[in-house]
């Protein structure tokens, strides 16, 4: 009989990523692979809308919570539950809820904390989809969002907190500038005000960073990215941590008698699990962003190789970033793994095992150079996604960040020449060769824009644009 592996398990990460949440044998219980007596090693895909009740009493008890078990897939599904247990174990959390996308995870987590009249305080440097959710959707529901640009300045958070602030939201590795957040610092400010810290850990993955260990109270992910890794499905997950007191007066929906708990409150009934139980029973199951068990299965397949992929991707990303930084056509590379990064010290503290695979760099020559670079690539995929086994590239200013004003783009450092990459598991040399093609095209484009260049001119000559760096000839000669 296999034991159940939880977040508190002493087993290593790589062991947990293939074993947690799917114990075979009778101990598997809820969602265990042995539930059907067949003992499949891989978690079966329970593609069923509902689950049969033996009799009247069992139906009543499953609805009433007196008996553990499944009723209807929107409320819970054995395949989805196996993935939830595994992700909770990897994040070192208490419980997890699997939902249909990362956006659904951010929505469910925050709507389990916030209601009309409440205030959300978020770092400025976040995923554009989350920013849109806060600015367009939450605003219309009466939830106002404040933004903190200086996410590592405790005073900036202090100044942003209001009496009605009910959640603080940051990303562990912000998109796309890698401007890391000191999670312990933000958690300290949040907790001093009795506010939970919610961290989007998509870019870091629990392999590189576990925010709950640094004071976060809730972790969310887009499982569509690294957790799945194959880029075949979407998914999202919400993980709850220990320690936050949900019975405090700020969260009336958790601390006051609940309609569905026969007069008891979520805090009384579930204690440390009040938030995640409410998020599951009242928010996720009612708004209904239920993942297909097929997608859950595919996410679980991905998770089984998470550490192997992220190790490789981080190492290759560092190699590529270091190479990029040496190229004369480069204005800047935003990767916290580089010693030149303003966030390198934080990276050493929070990301000692690798700094992830998503970063941005800015080519000289603005939009036209970026366009030429982008269009010349043959191996990198032009696509808005990340965490894939294949390397991907996007031009944020004209796509993901296109709705930001010129000033907002400037403030966020989303320059016209900035490109974001997500490094896959390919060989570094092949990726670098592809990027060389991009530089050749960018040089040709800026050379053509500045002055006509003789065809067949050597590389140095084609880069004779106004902003051509002085050391180019030297590099080409070497
Ligand atoms: C992709 C992403 C999301 C949204 O996830 P989906 O699965 O696309 O809905 C949220 N946060 C971050 C940091 C992301 O990269």
CATH classification of the domain holding 397: 3.90.1150.10
Is 4 part of any domain?
no
Give 448 Cα–ligand 1 centroid separation in angstroms: 38
Rounded mean pLDDT, 223-237: 98
Let me know whether 236 and 107 are in one domain: yes
The CATH code of the domain that includes 72 is 3.40.640.10
List, for residues 75-88, the tens digit of each pLDDT value: 999 999 999 999 99
Let me know whether 224 and 79 are in one domain: yes
Give 103 Cα–ligand 1 centroid separation in angstroms: 6
Rounded mean pLDDT, 284-293: 98
Q: Give how many domains the chain has, as a whole number.
A: 2
pLDDT value of residue 9: 75
High-pLDDT (> 90) share of the chain, %: 84
Only one residue has tokens 């640094």, namely 214
Q: Which residues touch 126 (CB under 8 Å, ≥6 apart)?
A: 169, 170, 171, 174, 175, 200
Is 274 part of any domain?
yes
Let me know whether 84 and 222 are in one domain: yes
pLDDT value of residue 477: 33
Is 99 part of any domain?
yes
Q: How far apart are CA 111 and CA 104, in angstroms?
A: 10
Which residue's alpha carbon is at the smallest distance from atom 2 of ligand 1?
A: 222
| Residue 291 Cβ < 6 Å to ligand 1 | no
Boundary (domain end) residue, out of 282, 303, 324: 303
pLDDT value of residue 39: 87
Is 3 part of any domain?
no
Q: Of residues 469 and 70, which shows the higher confidence score?
A: 70
| Residue 91 Cβ < 6 Å to ligand 1 | no
Boundary (domain end) residue, out of 303, 326, 360: 303
Q: Of residues 3 and 343, which shows the higher confidence score?
A: 343
Boundary (domain end) residue, out of 253, 275, 303: 303
Which segment of 161-175, 354-368, 370-384, 443-457 scores lowest on mean pLDDT? Answer: 443-457
Give 207 Cα–ligand 1 centroid separation in angstroms: 18
Mean pLDDT of the chain: 91
| Residue 420 Cβ < 6 Å to ligand 1 | no
Let me know whether 244 and 291 are in one domain: yes
Is 119 part of any domain?
no
| Residue 77 Cβ < 6 Å to ligand 1 | no
List, for residues 398-409, the tens digit of each pLDDT value: 999 999 999 999
| Residue 388 Cβ < 6 Å to ligand 1 | no
Structure tokens at 442: 């960018």
Which of the listed residues 87, 99, 101, 102 should we mutate to test ligand 1's pocket, taking the one with most ligand atoms within 8 A of CB?
A: 102
pLDDT value of residue 447: 77
Residue 315, CA distances (Å) to 42, 172, 330, 332, 360 in order: 30, 19, 21, 19, 16
| Residue 201 Cβ < 6 Å to ligand 1 | no
Is 219 part of any domain?
yes
Let me know whether 333 and 430 are in one domain: yes
pLDDT value of residue 463: 37
List, for residues 416-461, the tens digit of each pLDDT value: 999 999 999 999 999 999 999 999 999 999 876 654 444 443 433 3
| Residue 182 Cβ < 6 Å to ligand 1 | no
Residue 270 has pLDDT above 70, yes or no: yes
Let me know whether 349 and 435 are in one domain: yes
Residue 344 has pLDDT above 50, yes or no: yes
Which segment of 260-269, 374-383, 385-394 scores lowest on mean pLDDT? Answer: 260-269
Let me know whether 412 and 347 are in one domain: yes
Structural domain boundaries enclosing 365: 306-477
Q: Sign of the CA dihedral 69, 75, 80, 82?
A: negative
| Residue 101 Cβ < 6 Å to ligand 1 | yes
Which of the listed residues 203, 222, 289, 357 should we mutate to test ligand 1's pocket, taking the one with most ligand atoms within 8 A of CB?
A: 222
Which of the listed residues 125, 177, 225, 388 should we mutate to test ligand 1's pocket, taking the one with most ligand atoms within 8 A of CB?
A: 225
Let me know whether 215 and 323 are in one domain: no
**Ligand 1, closest atom to CA 202?**
13
List, for residues 87-121, the tens digit of each pLDDT value: 999 999 999 999 999 999 999 999 999 999 999 99
Let me know whether 299 and 311 are in one domain: no
Is 315 part of any domain?
yes
Give 15 Cα–ligand 1 centroid separation in angstroms: 26
Let me know whether 425 and 356 are in one domain: yes
Let me know whether 283 and 410 are in one domain: no
Let me know whether 370 and 310 are in one domain: yes
Give 376 Cα–ligand 1 centroid separation in angstroms: 27
Is 87 part of any domain?
yes
High-pLDDT (> 70) share of the chain, %: 89
Which residue's alpha carbon is at the smallest distance from atom 5 of ligand 1?
A: 102
């Amino acid at each position: 009989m296999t034991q159940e592996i939880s977040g508190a398990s002493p087993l290593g990460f790589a062991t947990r990523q293939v074993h947690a949440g799917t114990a075979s044998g009778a101990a598997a219980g809820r969602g265990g692979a042995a539930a059907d007596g067949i003992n499949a090693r891989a978690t079966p895909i329970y593609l069923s809308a509902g689950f049969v009740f033996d009799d009247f009493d069992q139906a009543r008890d499953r609805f009433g919570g007196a008996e553990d078990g499944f009723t209807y897939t929107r409320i819970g599904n054995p395949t989805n539950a196996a993935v939830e247990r595994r992700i909770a174990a990897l994040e070192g959390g208490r419980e997890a809820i699997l939902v249909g996308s990362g956006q659904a995870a951010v929505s469910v987590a925050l709507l389990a904390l916030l209601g009309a009249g409440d205030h959300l305080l978020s770092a400025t440097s976040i995923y554009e989809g989350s920013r849109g959710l806060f600015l367009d959707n939450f605003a219309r529901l009466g939830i106002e969002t404040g933004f903190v640009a200086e996410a590592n300045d405790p005073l900036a958070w202090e100044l942003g907190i209001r009496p009605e602030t009910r959640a603080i939201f940051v990303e562990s590795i912000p998109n796309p500038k890698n401007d890391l957040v000191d999670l312990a610092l933000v958690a300290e400010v949040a907790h001093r005000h009795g506010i939970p810290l919610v961290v989007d850990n998509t870019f870091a993955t629990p392999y590189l960073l576990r925010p709950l260990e640094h004071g976060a109270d809730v972790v969310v992910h887009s499982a569509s990215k690294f957790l799945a890794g194959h880029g075949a499905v979407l998914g999202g997950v919400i993980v709850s941590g220990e320690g936050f007191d949900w019975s405090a007066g700020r969260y009336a929906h958790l601390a006051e008698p609940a309609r569905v708990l026969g007069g008891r409150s979520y805090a009384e009934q579930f204690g440390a699990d009040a938030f995640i139980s409410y998020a599951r029973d009242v928010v996720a199951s009612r708004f209904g962003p239920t993942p297909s068990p097929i997608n859950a299965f595919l996410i679980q397949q991905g998770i089984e190789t998470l550490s192997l992929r992220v190790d490789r991707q981080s190492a290759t990303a560092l190699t590529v970033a270091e190479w990029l930084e040496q190229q004369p056509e480069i204005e800047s590379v935003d990767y916290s793994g580089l010693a030149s990064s303003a966030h390198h010290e934080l990276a050493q503290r929070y990301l000692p095992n690798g700094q992830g695979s998503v970063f941005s760099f800015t080519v000289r020559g603005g939009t036209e150079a970026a366009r030429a670079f982008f269009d010349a690539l043959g191996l990198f995929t032009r696509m808005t996604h990340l965490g894939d086994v294949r390397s991907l590239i996007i031009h944020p200013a004209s796509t993901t960040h296109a709705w930001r004003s010129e000033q907002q783009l400037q403030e966020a450092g989303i320059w016209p020449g900035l490109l974001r990459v997500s490094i896959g598991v390919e060989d570094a040399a092949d990726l670098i060769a592809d990027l060389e093609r991009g530089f050749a095209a960018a040089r040709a484009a800026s050379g053509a824009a500045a002055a006509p260049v003789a065809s067949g001119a050597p590389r140095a000559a084609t880069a004779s644009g106004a902003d051509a760096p002085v050391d180019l000839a030297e590099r080409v000669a070497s």
